[in-house]
Every structure is written in structure tokens, then in C-alpha cells.
Amino acid sequence: MKSSNNNKIWLSPVLGDGMVLQRDSVVKLWGKGVPSKELKLTFLDQDYNTLVREDGSWEVRLDNLKPGGPHDMVIYHDGEEKRISDILVGDVWVLAGQSNMQIPISRTLDLFEEEVKGAANNNIRQFTVPMVYDFHGPIDELSDGNWVPVTPETVYSFSAIGYFFSKKIYDKYQIPIGLLFTAIGGTPAESWISEGSLMSFDRFKEILNMCKDDSYVQNTINNENEYNNKWYHELYESDEGLKDEPWYSHDYIDNDWKDIQLPASFRGTELEPIRGSVWLRKDIIISENLAGKEGKLVLGTVIDADDTYINGVKIGNTGYLYPPRRYIIPQGLLKAGKNTITVRTIMTQNIGGFVTDMPYFIKIEEEQIPISGTWKYKVGAITKPQAPTTFFQYKPTGVYNGMIYPLRNYSIRGVLWYQGESNTGNPFDYKELFETVISDWRKLWKREELPFYYVQLANHCPWRLEPEISGWAFVREAQRQNMKLPNTGMAVIIDVGMYNDLHPWDKKSVGERLALWALNDVYGDNLVCSGPIYSRIAIEDKKARLYFDHVGSGLITKGDKLETFEICGEDGVFYAAEATIEDVDCLIVSCKKVSKPGKVRYAWADNPEKANLYNKEGLPASPFISD
């Protein structure tokens, strides 16, 4: 950590204009200066004096700040003055995990476009921690970053969960909220754990030792970049649709193309084995009154990548599988009569297709023009499947060292966590891994019961196929069991997931359910903050009686009867079971095929769509398997 630009005062980027400081706590400010020289810091009409240490470091502690602002802070040191402006005092939350915490508001506009349009709140701010990983050890300080308030322009880049969480709390208490945004898509739990703690898990030792070899990491990156560049170069060079008269041209004649019904997977068609490019075209008719107007192409989700054109003009492209395709059609492009949509789909590793049960239409003003149905297709190029890419941010301890450790001195209210999807492939030690994340971070911030509120995995399963062993169910169960740790809370979202999208769009429900835990535990609202959580089981005469916590005003069924309950005997074979609510906090489960009940499980599947046990406050019960 060195002073830059010959400045004598150096501060971490997180200690900058617009920062949010934690109220009612010990707030540490730190930096670098000239050794053995005095430093004075002035804040809220209070002066704080300290001597810079021999190693150039210094720190000042502020106690029990009250919410409000904006305020300015001035630091004087060795003839230099540094002013930090627009400081708020409120509550600071770390946003952590993988892509579902990372998903920005811009990816939720199908549901919330009108709600967030024009959003402006200077009292909700986000600091995005740069994505940095290091396998040699913790990094002391952040390299970059700045605090950004909610404005009509910036709101779209805010973590959607973070925004809706903050808004629910701010709307009630008007206390400023600061979000330290650290989530990185695809990261498993082990990437967020310190090396010392992770060494108790033998399965990570070998890969961590490999990652400590800088030449291995850099050579892997270089070789894969070279390979991928070559793969795409060969794809473009061999794609017939990009030669002579390109196939996206409005005037191109596609009479010899074959028909295909979309949306659909290419599975089961002659296109199933193809990796490379397949071109798709569809003609639509635009009326005179809509011609020339700006529109939006809502193209569901495409597997894997796409380049999309209208009337020969490229209106958008997406380079990978997950994001919904929502492309603006510029004013003047659509004409009265026939218009041609062309989609160049690129299959890198997966079977291609347009994901089903997604929206597919063109929207102009309030009118929607459907584009589902018969399309025409032709193969552009056939390649080998693209080799998987190594993402080193996924590797053990890396982002803990580079993104969490540098925040250790910044006072926070608590942590919001949404992660687990990347551990479903090997879920059997997730309980211990996640427990280690929580204990590691509490040690780092030196708070044994730092509030740690997290999201249980949503329902999700492509193609609606239920595996014999559900990795998603095992991870959910591990998450439920970790509620036994002090000062934790779990938002159950088994009712807001999407079988066909790993990133469910309804991030408002997720953020607000996390906010219920904070409102109850931190703000003292004494409200029902969770749906029913399985507590214990009692076996009674061929039946199992189950008891629940967090029942609120009582258990209810959404529907005619309870679904997705299963029961097994001593042989461990589960059968579909009947379940009936017996009392405010318990229900009875039985099955004619099981005379001596052993265990009961509920919603035990990747995508238990029919799960329908709730409390009267409308919050869903957590999936579980009984002890």
C-alpha cells in the first residue's frame, strides 16, 4: 500500500466520496502517510489526532455515529489536506455469493421495468469490489472502486437483490444503506474461504497447490485464450452465412431453407449434434401505424450465443447461454409490410435451441407481435465442441483473498449471501463448507455473531427431468441445517424459481424476504420473517407427526391438498405420501405402502413445482428431510 501521485495521504478506495459509514459501532478509518508525522482527521465537528507509524500506516476510530448525512471529512497531514465529501452514516451490508446475487436490475425489467424507471435515492449506495483473486495469500487493500447512489441511470447496474432489500428497509426507517457488492457468478463456496480453514477439506489441497504456481495459471489462461480465439476464427471463416451475400440480409432469398417450430430445443432434430452455427429466419408483418417506431425484440433465451438482425441490421448479440435476450429495435428500422428477423445461433458446447416457456414477441408501444411458430433454418458451420474454459475465480480461496480480506477493516452491519448452485454437483460437504464461510467471515470482522442472512436455492431444473440424486435438494438441506448457527436467517424462495432459467427474474421477492430477517433481528420489528421450518418428527402408529418452527399464524395449504411429501420405512425407499395439517404447527404424514415410518421428506427435487406448504403470512416452507 503506497501513496500514489506523490500524495502524502493514501486511503483505501472504499474510504472515498459518497461512502456509507456504519452507525452505532466502532468505525475504523485507515491509510498510509509519512512515518512519524502527525495526522489530524476532522469529522462531525470532532478532531481526531494520531501519529503515523514507522511502517507508514495509521488508523483512526470513530464511535457510535448516528444515521444521517451528507457530511464531509477532512484529513490534514504534513502540509497536505484531503477532503472526503458526501458521506452518509447508516447500515452497511456485504452482498456476497454468485450470479443470482450479482444479477443487476437490468436483467429483471420484464417484471420491474415500470417500478424502477426513474428511481432516485441518494441514501442507497453501492460500492462494487473489483474482481480479484490471489492464491498466495490475502491482499491487504482494494485496488479500485467508488460509491454510486441510486439514480435513474445507475439503478440498472445495482444488484437487484441488494436494491430491493435496501428499498424495503429504507422505505420504513429512512436510514441510509450502503452495499459492498462482492458477488461473482459461478463461484463455489470454497472460493470464499481462507486457506487455513479450507485445509480441513482434503479435496481442495491439490488444486490449490496447482493454482499457487503462477506459471500454471498464466499458461492456462494464455493457452485457452489462444484456443478460443482460434475456435471463433475458424467458426467465422467457415460460416457459409457470412460469405458472399450474407444470410442476415433483408433481400436474401431463403426458399431452400427448412422449417422448424420455435421456441424448442434442437434435441431430437437433425440439429441436435451440431456445434457451430445455425441460422434462423422469420418474416413478420408490421402495420402502417407501427412502421418506423422504436420497438423491443423479446427473444426469450437462446442456447448458447446469438447475433440477431432485423432487416439486415444487427440489433444485438449475447455471447453466452444465460441472459434473456431483450434487444432495442431502433427507430426507423421497421417498415410497413414484411420485415425479417434473422438469428445466428452459436452452439459452443450445448444442444442449441430457443428455451421454451419464455416470452417471444416484438413490442411496439403497447402492441405485441408474436414471433413464435414456424421459422426457417440452415446450418452455417459445423465445428468441434468448444473446450471448457478454466475460470480461476472459481478456484479455492482466490476471491476470499482478493475481495473479502481487503474489506476486513470496514465496519458492516451484516452479510447477505446467495450461493450454492455451483456446489450442487458435489453437494455432500456443502453444510461444512458453508458453515466455514460463515465462521471465517465472522473471524475476519471479529464479530462472533455477525448477522448472516442467506438465500436457499430456488426451484430449477432444465427439461423438467428429476434426477435420482438431487444435488439441489442436498444443498437446500445443508442450508436449512445451518440455520442452527447463531444469528443466521434463510430466505426460502422455492416458489419464485424458474425451471428453465438458472437466474429467476423475481429478485424483488428474494430481496424483500432477506429484508424480513433484517427487520426482525436487526431493527426489532418482531414480525414473521420466515416460512415454516421443519423442527422434529414423532412416529405414531404407522404415521409420522411433523412439527415446525416459524409457523406464524399457522400452517396452510395452497391448493386442495399438500403435495411433494414422501415417506420411507427402514429400507430407505421413499413413496409419495398423504399429508394433512393437524394443528397450528404440525401435520400428519402417512402412506399405505409404509407400515413403519422412518423418514419424511418434502419438496425433495431440483424443481419441486407443486410444493405448497406455507404459513398464513404467505411465506413458503423450506424443503427438508427429517432426522
**pLDDT attached to residue 461:** 82
pLDDT digits 0-9 by tens, 238-252 = 999 999 899 999 889
Tell the residue number behind the cell numbers 478532531, with chain if given.
47
With respect to residue 444, please indicate whether it lies within any of the assigned structural domains.
Answer: no
From 331, 348, 382, give the residue that closes a domain. 382
**Grid coordinates standing for 385?**
465442441
pLDDT digits 0-9 by tens, 100-126 = 999 999 999 999 999 999 999 999 999
- Look at residue 496 and tell me whether its pLDDT is greater than 50: yes
Q: Give which of 313, 318, 316 is closest to 332, Cα–Cα.
A: 313
**pLDDT attached to residue 6:** 65
**pLDDT attached to residue 3:** 44
**pLDDT attached to residue 469:** 78
Mean of the pLDDT values across residues 207-222?
98
With respect to residue 263, please indicate whether it lies within any of the assigned structural domains.
Answer: yes
Between these two residues, 551 and 465, which has the higher pLDDT value? 551
From 364, 382, 400, give the residue that closes a domain. 382
Q: Which residues contact 452 (CB under 8 A, 6 or more apart)?
A: 414, 415, 417, 438, 441, 442, 485, 487, 488, 489
Q: Which residues contact 483 (CB under 8 A, 6 or more apart)?
A: 489, 490, 533
d(CA 277, CA 346): 4
Tell the residue number behind the cell numbers 394433512, with chain if given.
580
pLDDT digits 0-9 by tens, 319-367 = 999 899 999 999 999 999 999 999 999 999 999 999 999 999 999 999 9
- Look at residue 378 and tell me whether its pLDDT is greater than 90: yes
Count of domains observed in the chain: 2
With respect to residue 100, please indicate whether it lies within any of the assigned structural domains.
Answer: no
- 3-state class (DSSP) for residue 57: strand
With respect to residue 91, please indicate whether it lies within any of the assigned structural domains.
Answer: no
Range of the domain at 607: 533-625
Burial class (CB in 10 A: 0-12, 13-18, 19+), 289: exposed
Q: Which residues contact 526 (CB under 8 A, 6 or more apart)?
A: 520
- Is residue 530 within 8 A of residue 619, CB to CB? The reply is yes
With respect to residue 430, please indicate whether it lies within any of the assigned structural domains.
Answer: no
With respect to residue 462, please indicate whether it lies within any of the assigned structural domains.
Answer: no
Q: Domain with 262 in it: what CATH number?
A: 2.60.120.260
pLDDT digits 0-9 by tens, 299-325 = 999 999 999 999 999 999 999 998 999
Mean of the per-residue pLDDT values for the chain?
96
Instruction: Give the predicted TM-score (pTM) of the model.
Output: 0.95
With respect to residue 349, please indicate whether it lies within any of the assigned structural domains.
Answer: yes
Question: 3-state SS string over 425-459?
Answer: CCHHHHHHHHHHHHHHHHHHCCCCCCCEEEECCCC
* pLDDT range class, residue 1, cuts 50, 70, 90: very low
d(CA 69, CA 378): 61
pLDDT digits 0-9 by tens, 164-203 = 999 999 999 999 999 999 999 999 999 999 999 999 999 9
With respect to residue 418, please indicate whether it lies within any of the assigned structural domains.
Answer: no
Mean of the pLDDT values across residues 50-65?
96
From 382, 407, 425, give the residue that closes a domain. 382
**pLDDT attached to residue 292:** 96
Mean of the pLDDT values across residues 17-38?
97
* pLDDT range class, residue 541, cuts 50, 70, 90: confident
Cα end-to-end span (Å), the chain: 51
Query: What DSSP character marks residue 129?
Result: -
Taking the CA atoms of residue 73, residue 76, residue 80 and residue 84 in that order, the dihedral angle to the nearest 10 degrees is: -10
Q: Which residues contact 115 (CB under 8 A, 6 or more apart)?
A: 508
